[in-house]
């Protein structure tokens, strides 16, 4: 296969190169995935710049990008919950490997992808959704019905990646009052319609316009 790799810190786009390497084999608890889509994050290029040195990347050459979606090809020993042919999404940190035809990921960091979610959409989910989930849990927001008292939840930048998930996750319990602060000039009407279903109050931070939900 021909992944995109870099072999030292720095270099930017010029430091990336296609190379020929064998298809990896999954180890214990791992999945071999045929990559269909990958999502590049600021963290990926920061690692290339050396923000994680000397620990990340752990070795060179390195295939970047840790968020991906694809199809399970092979299971390593002890990997459960999946079978060949399953469509999944995964976050492969710190191993990364998303900029390749095949990647090995930990089965514990993978989830089945519903058929209504495309590979491109699925590859964008893990880090944004996990960030929103951790923020809500840190704030003590219960995510299940009857899980803790009702809270007033304010989500700023609600039309962004993390904010979109925070709004939807906070509304799952059904008893929180969710206020979304968003830029109504961004994204699409359909995107905003999804947010509107989940929030109790929406505010346009550009024009201070309050929308009744």
pLDDT tens per residue across span 105-120 = 999 999 999 999 999 9
- Distances 43 to 64, 93, 127, 171, 200 between C-alpha atoms, Å: 10, 11, 10, 29, 33
* pLDDT reported for residue 51: 85
Q: Which two tokens stand for residue 74?
A: 């092979």
4-117 and 126-212: same fold? no
Q: Which two tokens stand for residue 130?
A: 């996990």
Architecture of domain 126-212: 3-Layer(aba) Sandwich (3.40)
Q: Give per-residue pLDDT as tens, 52-65.
A: 888 888 889 999 99
Q: Tell me whether residue 58 is exposed, middle or buried, using C-beta atoms within 10 angstroms of its C-beta: 0 to 12, 13 to 18, 19 or more.
A: exposed
Give the domain ranges of the chain: 4-117, 126-212
* pLDDT reported for residue 167: 86
Looking at mean pLDDT, say which of 18-22, 91-95, 158-162, 198-202 comes out highest.
18-22
* pLDDT reported for residue 183: 66
- When comparing pLDDT for 196 and 99, which is higher? 99
* pLDDT reported for residue 106: 95
CATH topology of domain 4-117: Quinone Oxidoreductase; Chain A, domain 1 (3.90.180)
Of 26-30, 45-49, 70-74, the poorest mean pLDDT is in 45-49
Q: Which residue has the tokens 């602060």?
A: 181
* pLDDT reported for residue 190: 47
* pLDDT reported for residue 76: 96
| Mean pLDDT, rounded, for 184-194 | 56
What percentage of residues in the chain have a pLDDT greater than 70?
Answer: 85
* pLDDT reported for residue 42: 86
Q: How far apart are CA 81 and CA 88, in angstroms?
A: 11
- pLDDT class of 39 with cuts at 50, 70, 90: very high
* pLDDT reported for residue 152: 86
- pLDDT class of 186 with cuts at 50, 70, 90: low
């Amino acid at each position: 296969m021909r992944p995109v790799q870099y072999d030292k810190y720095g270099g930017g786009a010029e430091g990336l190169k296609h190379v020929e390497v064998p298809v990896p084999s999954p180890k214990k608890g791992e999945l071999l995935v045929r990559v269909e889509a990958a999502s590049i994050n600021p963290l990926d290029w920061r690692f290339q710049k050396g923000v994680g040195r000397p620990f990340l990347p752990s070795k060179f050459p390195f295939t970047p990008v840790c968020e991906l979606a694809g199809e399970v090809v092979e299971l390593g020993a002890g990997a459960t919950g999946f079978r060949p042919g399953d469509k999944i999404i995964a976050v492969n940190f710190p191993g990364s490997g998303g900029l390749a035809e095949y990647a090995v990921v930990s089965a514990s960091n993978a989830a089945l992808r519903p058929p209504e979610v495309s590979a491109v959409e699925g590859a964008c989910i893990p880090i944004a959704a996990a960030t929103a989930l951790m923020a809500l849990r840190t704030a003590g927001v219960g995510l299940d019905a009857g899980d803790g008292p009702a809270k007033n939840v304010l989500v700023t930048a609600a039309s962004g990646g993390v904010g979109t998930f925070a709004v939807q996750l906070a509304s799952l319990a059904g008893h929180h009052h969710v206020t979304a602060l968003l830029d109504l000039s961004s994204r699409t009407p359909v995107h905003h319609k999804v947010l509107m279903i989940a929030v109790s109050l929406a505010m346009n931070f550009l024009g201070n316009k309050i929308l009744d939900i």
